Every structure is written in C-alpha cells, then in structure tokens.
Amino acid sequence: MRAVIPAYRGVSPLAADIFREETSAARRLLAPLFGVAENSDSLIAGSVGEFQAGKKLFQIPRFIFMGPTGGGDTIRLGFFAAIHGNEPEGTQAIAALLQDLDNHPAAAKGCHIYAYPICNPAGFEAATRQNARGQDLARHFWRGSDQPEVYYLEQEMGVHRFAGVISLHTNHHDTTGHFIGRTRNSLLDTALVQPALEAAHQFLLTEHRGIREETAPSRNAIRTMPADFLTRTGELNPVPFEINLEIPSLAPRVSQIQGTVVALKAILDSYRTLLATQQNI
C-alpha cells in the first residue's frame, strides 16, 4: 500500500546552495559530491522532493551515476543509506563510492546507480534513529504510511523499477566487528552476498575478519522478514532483489567506509556475472 501524499511536497534540482541551511554534517558529507557532479558527465545531483518538519524544510538528495554502456539492457540499482538518522557510515560510504566511480566508471559498466545517501534528513540532522515525528522509517514502507520520507522513497522504487535494492545500516548492537549481509534467498547469498563480505572483510582488523551472512525467509513469509527490508510488497513489478548490508560499529571508521565501498563494487561485479551466466544457460 503506497504512502499517502505529504502535505507539503515538491521536486527540485539539488545544488550546493540548497544545502546551505542544512547541518554541518550534511554539508561536510555531501559537498564533495556537488563538486564532482558539477564537472561530471556521469554523475547527476538532484532531489526527490522536500517536506516540512516543524519550522524546517528538508530535502531528500538523490545522485544518479550513469555507468558506461554495457552489452545488454541498462541495470538500474537503488542504494539507500541513513534511513536511520544516527547511521552516517552508510552516507559516507555512498559518497566515497560515487566519487570512486566517477574516477573509475568501468566498475559500473551497464549500470545506472540511483543513490539516496540521506533518506532521513531530519533524523540525520538530529543524529537520531527516528525521523522528526519520532518514527522508525524502516517499519513504515508499503503500509500506507503518512511519513513524507517514505512516500518519496516508495515513489522512487515504483517509478524506476530497480533490478536490485541495497540498503546500508550500521549495526549498533554489534559485538563481533563483522559485516553482515541479509538477503531473501540462498542464490543471492552465494552469488552476491558472499563475494561482497569477502571483499569487505579484508579492510577489517585481523581479530574481526569473520564473515557473517543471514538469509531471511522467502518472499511468501513477509510477516517474518526483518523489518529493515525496503521491498516487502507485492506492488513492485518487477520485484527487485534486496541486500541489507550492516556495517560493524566496532570497526574503525576507515575500515567501515572502505569495506562498504568494496562490498558495493563486488555486488555490481557479481550481479553482472550472475546475469551473464543466466543468459548463457
């Protein structure tokens, strides 16, 4: 069930001056991308919409990276971070990934990446898990929510028809220092998650170099799925694959960011390989 339309909404281009009134954290994390987008033929900066919370106006930024043309249809993937406002590590990783791809675009060959680095801008400003209304946005998707952030992000998933969705979270309950990948079927575990975790764990300290992967129940067992899956609905056609990548809170910040970047790049490479294999069967 789609979220209701927020009382105040709009869509506008995103440029550096739009975020002058935003927090120093948002400016610091997104400013490098503005400069890249202004001079790039591959990276586009934009906003999916704006909404008012209290007396402040917030926007949900979106960056689109268009990789070099591949041999088949363009693959559209959605990367989502900071759904919980107190998890800036995913935001930093997306920013680092997009800058890396702009320098090495072949890593995204055949792909258009739609990146949403700050899905919960009010919570991001306050450094809180919840949004300005005190809601955990991860538990509102496809339930007729009245949260404006959910409305815009559901609209993006519906319009762009992503082949896959990757959501980034920070595991604040982490006691191991491991990256964790959650999926909805065993094929994705083997083909996508395992290579991603193997790539990520190389950036962890030796004592943290374990690999954990978890598979959620099948799509038919929607009620038992972890709450942080964003595509648990019958409204999306085609149904995208989804990976929930958890960043270990105990790892050093540089390991968190570098590990996440290489994990995302491994998913891109592995997914292309998976598609090529299926086409040859």
d(CA 271, CA 99): 21
Distance of CA 83 to the CA centre of its chain: 9
97 inside domain: yes
User: Taking a C-beta distance cutoff of 8 angstroms, is the pair 99, 65 a contact?
Assistant: no
Domain range for 256 is 16-280
Evaluate the omega torsion of the peptide bond into residue 238 and state whether it is cis, within 30 degrees of 0: yes
Output the average pLDDT for the chain. Answer: 84
57 inside domain: yes
Considering 31-35, 129-133, 210-214, the range whose residues carry the highest mean pLDDT is 129-133
Does the pLDDT of residue 151 top 90, yes or no? yes
Q: Is 177 left (phi over 0), alpha (psi -120 to 50) or beta?
A: left
Q: What's the domain count of the chain?
A: 1
Q: What number is the average pLDDT over the span 113-120? A: 97
We report the CATH number of the domain holding residue 258 as 3.40.630.10
130-142 pLDDT, tens digit each: 999 999 999 999 9
User: Taking a C-beta distance cutoff of 8 angstroms, is the pair 60, 53 a contact?
Assistant: no
> Strand, helix or coil at 218?
coil
Predicted TM-score of the model (pTM): 0.87
32 inside domain: yes
Identify which has the larger pLDDT, 187 or 153. Answer: 153
> Strand, helix or coil at 4?
coil
d(CA 223, CA 221): 6
10 inside domain: no
132 inside domain: yes
Residue 90 DSSP symbol: H
Residue type, position 127, single letter: A
11 inside domain: no
Going across the sheet that includes 111-116, the strands are 43-53, 56-66, 111-116, 75-80, 164-171, 241-248, 180-183, 212-215
Query: What's the confidence (pLDDT) of residue 251?
Result: 92
Query: From the CB of residue 138, how many other CB atoms can be counted at a distance below 10 Å?
Result: 21
77 inside domain: yes
Sign of CA dihedral 30, 31, 32, 36: positive
CA–CA distance from 152 to each of 6, 47, 58, 145, 220 (Å)? 9, 10, 12, 11, 26
Sign of CA dihedral 123, 128, 130, 136: positive
58-112 pLDDT, tens digit each: 999 999 999 999 878 899 999 999 999 999 999 999 999 999 999 999 999 999 9
215 inside domain: yes
Does the pLDDT of residue 168 top 90, yes or no? yes
242-281 pLDDT, tens digit each: 999 999 999 999 999 999 999 999 999 999 999 988 765 4
Query: From the CB of residue 71, how many other CB atoms can be counted at a distance below 10 Å?
Result: 9
